[in-house]
Structure 1
Amino acid sequence: MYIMQSSSVARLAQVLNRFPSRLTSTGGRPSAPLGSRILTDPDDIFKYNMWDHVQWTEEDKETFRQKAEENSRKQIPLKEQGRFDKEAWQYWDRFYRTHQDKFFKDRKWLFLEFPELLPSGSRSQAASRSLGDERGADRDGRQQQHNRPTDLPNPQDSGDAATQAASFPGQHASHRILEIGCGVGNSVFPIIDSIKETDAFLYCCDFSPCAIQLVKGHPAYDEATCRAFVHDIREESSFPFPTQSLDVILAVFVLSSIHPDRIPGVVKRLSTYLRRGGIFLFRDYGRYDFSQLRFKKGRCLSENFYTRGDGTCAYFFSKEDVHDLFSNAGLEEVQNLEDRRLQVNRGKKVVMHRVWMQSKYRKTYLPPAS
C-alpha cells in the first residue's frame, strides 16, 4: 500500500513550486475540467478531503511503477484464472446482494463533466443544478464542456437507422442514452431526474440480475423514461434497440471489470449502436491508482489486471490504452484525460494518490451498408 507520509508531503511542496502556472488557483473556475480545488500551499493539505490536478514527481512515478511491478510478480495460475471471467456476473451479483444500494453514492457530477448526456436544451440547467449540489458538499463543482459539434448533421435525419426499424422502447425519443454496467442506478437516477421533462430516453443494463432488480424497484424508476434490463456486454447478443440509434453510451467504472482481452471487442460492438455524431463517455481506473498499488501479492491475473477478495476484477488503464481502445473502434477523440488527485484522510493524516481516466470519443462517420 502506498500512502503519502510527511516526507512525501515535503516533496509535494517542491512540485508546487516547480509548476506554479498549472497549480495556481485564481479563485474562479479553471479552464480545465475535472475539478477546481487546487493545492497551492502544502500546509493546507489536510484542509479538504480531495485535491485536483496533482503533479507527480519522477520519484513518485518510479515508486508507483515499482509497487505495481512488485505486486504483479506472483500471478494467479492460468488454470485458476478462467473462473474470474466465466463467473464474473455471479461475483458481481453476490456483491449487489450483499451491499444492495448502500455501497456507491449517486453521481451528481455527471452533467458537469458529461453534459452530452442531456439534450442540448437541457444542459445548462442540469449543469447548474449539479454545480449547486457539489458546492454544498466537501467537493468541487466541475466544468461543462464539449457540446455536440455544429458541423455534424442532426441525428434525426433521414439516415437514422432507428427511424427505419421495427417498434422498440424509446423509439420516439429524439435523444437516446445507454448506460452499460449501471449497477444499482447511481448514474441512472440522476439522469432520469434530468430527462423526465425532455424528449429523451435512457436504457441501462447490467449482467447482475440483482442490480437490475434494485433499479426497477427504486421509486424513481419510470418505464416511460427508462428501460432497465439484464445484459452481458461481453457477449454478442442483441439490445432492445437497433444499431445506429444512440446519441450517448456511458461507461463509468465498468470496462475495468472485464478481462482486458475482451474489452476491445466490447467497445467495437457497442460503437455500432451510436449514430453519426454520437459519443462514447468513459470514466474508469487509471494506471497506478492507489487501489492498484494496495493489491497484495497473489491477486494479479495479468499485467495491470487484478482480482479482489470477493472475486470481482479491476483493470487499470493508461492514457495510451484508452486512446487505442476507442480509436481502433473507429471513434474520434474529443477528450482523453488522466485525472490525478490527492485523497486525504484528515483523521489519520494520510494522503493517497488517486488516478482516474476520463475520455470522450465521437462517431464521425457511419460504416457503409453491407
Structure 2
Amino acid sequence: MALSTHDKGRVSIEHGEEGKSCEKMTLCVPGQTKTSNAKELTQEDLDKLGSERALVSDFKQMKLEKDAQKNWDLFYKRNTTNFFKDRHWTTREFEELKAFREFESQRLVLLEAGCGVGNCIFPLLEEDLTIFVYACDFSPRAVEFVKQNPLYCPERCCAFQCDLTKDDLIENVPKESVDVVTLIFVLSAVHPNKMTQVLENISRVLKPGGIVLFRDYGLHDHAMLRFKSGSKLGENFYVRQDGTRSYFFSREFLAQLFEEAGFQSVTNDYVLRETVNKKEGLCVPRVFLQSKFTKPAQTHS
C-alpha cells in the first residue's frame, strides 16, 4: 500500500531519528541541547501516558517476539535503502571515531551493531581510509543491501547477519579485537529482557579499554507520546503498526543495563532537538539518549 506524504511523515517520526523525516520536516534550530534531566511533560502528555494502562496481550507479545526478524526484514523490503539518511554526524558527535588511535596510521577496528543498510558505516569508510568495520544486522535483507553497496569492500568491511540476543559475535569477530562499538538506534528494537544479553555479547569482542558509542530514543520522545491506545507492550515499550517495536530509554535504566554487563559510564545525556513542519506550523520535540560506555581495561575475577 502506498503511503501519502502525511503518512510518510508520521511513519518516519515513529521509526527514525533526525534522519529520514518527511520532506517538509527541517531542523527548527541548528544544533541540539544536551541535558541530564528528562524532558518535562505537559499536563496533556501526563494524562495521555496515565491513561495507557492496558497492555498488548501476552499471546500477541509472544508473536511479536517470534516474528521480530521477519517484521524488520519486511521493513527493509518496503523501504529498501531509502528510509534513513546517511549519518554524517557520527564523527562530530563521537570524537572517539577519530581520536581513539594512539598514532595516525593505526587502523581503527569498529563494530557497527545493527548496521541497517549502512547509513553509518559508509560515510565512515569514505571519511577514514584506515578504518576496518564489522557490520551486523538482524535482517538478512539489510545485510544484503550493505553488501550490494558500491562502497562495500571485503578488505575494509565485513558484513554478516546476526541476532545479537543469541548469536555469538565471536563466530564472526575475533575476541577482544574491536576498538569501538557503535550502537545507534538498535537496542530500542530489542525486548528489554534481552538487552543485557546484547551488551554482554558486544563486550566479548570489545578490547579492554574499548568504548561503546550509544544513541537511541529517549524517554518522552515525540514518537513515544504519539502511540495510540493498544500499542503499549510494557513500561516505555511500544509496538508500531508494522510490528516493529521500540523502547524509550531513561538515563538511569540505560546506565543500569551497561553496569550489569560490566561497563563503566563515561557520558550519558539526553539530547533535545526540534523539527518543524513549516507548512503546517508544527514544532516536533525529539528526545534521544547519547552515551558512551567503556569496557574496563582491567577485569577482576
Compute the TM-score of the two structures, normalised by the length of structure 2: 0.83
Matched, 1:109 2:89: yes
How many residue pairs match? The answer is 272
**Hey, what does 1:177 align to over in structure 2?**
110
**Hey, what does 2:10 align to over in structure 1?**
none
Measure how far apart 1:85 and its partner are: 1.3
Measure how far apart 1:57 and its partner are: 11
**Hey, what does 2:221 align to over in structure 1?**
289
Q: Is the 8 A contact 2:34 2:269 kept in 1?
A: no
- In 2, the alpha carbon distance for the partners of 1:361 and 1:59 equals 26
Out of 280, 296, 301, the residue aligned to residue 348 of structure 1 is 280
Out of 261, 268, 273, the residue aligned to residue 200 of structure 2 is 268
Measure how far apart 1:258 and its partner are: 0.5
**Hey, what does 2:264 align to over in structure 1?**
332
**Hey, what does 1:76 align to over in structure 2?**
56
**Hey, what does 1:201 align to over in structure 2?**
132
- Structure having the larger proportion of residues in strand: 2
RMSD of Structure 2 on Structure 1 (CA): 2.5
**Hey, what does 1:90 align to over in structure 2?**
70
**Hey, what does 1:302 align to over in structure 2?**
234
**Hey, what does 1:26 align to over in structure 2?**
none
Q: Is the 8 A contact 2:146 2:159 kept in 1?
A: yes
> Alignment partner of 1:272: what SS?
helix
- In 2, the alpha carbon distance for the partners of 1:187 and 1:229 equals 15
Q: Any idea what the Cα deviations from partners look like across 1:311-343, whole Å, max 9, x if unmatched?
A: 000000001111111122221211111011222
One-letter amino acid matched to 2:160: F
- Relative distance call for 1:48 and 1:316 in structure 2 (3 A) is closer
- In 2, the alpha carbon distance for the partners of 1:249 and 1:268 equals 12
Q: Any idea what the Cα deviations from partners look like across 1:214-263, whole Å, max 9, x if unmatched?
A: 11001111111000111110114243122211101101100000001110
- In 2, the alpha carbon distance for the partners of 1:256 and 1:205 equals 16
- Relative distance call for 1:59 and 1:305 in structure 2 (3 A) is closer
> Alignment partner of 2:192: what SS?
coil
Q: Structure 1: which 5+ residue stretches go unaligned?
A: 1-45, 121-146, 149-153, 156-172
Q: Any idea what the Cα deviations from partners look like across 1:56-95, whole Å, max 9, x if unmatched?
A: 999735543433332x322111122112112111000000
- In 2, the alpha carbon distance for the partners of 1:252 and 1:357 equals 10
Bigger Cα Rg = 1
Q: Structure 2 matches for 1:128-207, cutoff 5 A?
A: 174-196=107-129, 198=130, 200-207=131-138
- In 1, the alpha carbon distance for the partners of 2:34 and 2:290 equals 15
**Hey, what does 1:131 align to over in structure 2?**
none
**Hey, what does 1:134 align to over in structure 2?**
none
Q: Is the 8 A contact 1:255 1:284 kept in 2?
A: yes
**Hey, what does 1:49 align to over in structure 2?**
28
Q: List structure 1 runs of 4+ shifted beyond 4 angstroms.
A: 54-59
- In 1, the alpha carbon distance for the partners of 2:118 and 2:39 equals 39
Q: Is the 8 A contact 1:96 1:211 kept in 2?
A: yes
One-letter amino acid matched to 1:99: N
- Relative distance call for 1:91 and 1:367 in structure 2 (3 A) is same
One-letter amino acid matched to 1:264: T
Compute the TM-score of the two structures, normalised by the length of structure 1: 0.68
- Relative distance call for 1:224 and 1:261 in structure 2 (3 A) is same
Q: Is the 8 A contact 1:299 1:308 kept in 2?
A: yes
- In 1, the alpha carbon distance for the partners of 2:154 and 2:46 equals 47
> Alignment partner of 2:158: what SS?
strand
Measure how far apart 1:368 and its partner are: 5.2
One-letter amino acid matched to 2:248: F
Q: Percent identity between the aligned chains?
A: 39
Q: Is the 8 A contact 1:275 1:366 kept in 2?
A: no
Q: Any idea what the Cα deviations from partners look like across 1:145-190, whole Å, max 9, x if unmatched?
A: xx57xxxxx79xxxxxxxxxxxxxxxxx842100011001100101
**Hey, what does 1:312 align to over in structure 2?**
244
One-letter amino acid matched to 1:67: K
Measure how far apart 1:54 and its partner are: 8.1
- Relative distance call for 1:351 and 1:325 in structure 2 (3 A) is same
One-letter amino acid matched to 1:114: F
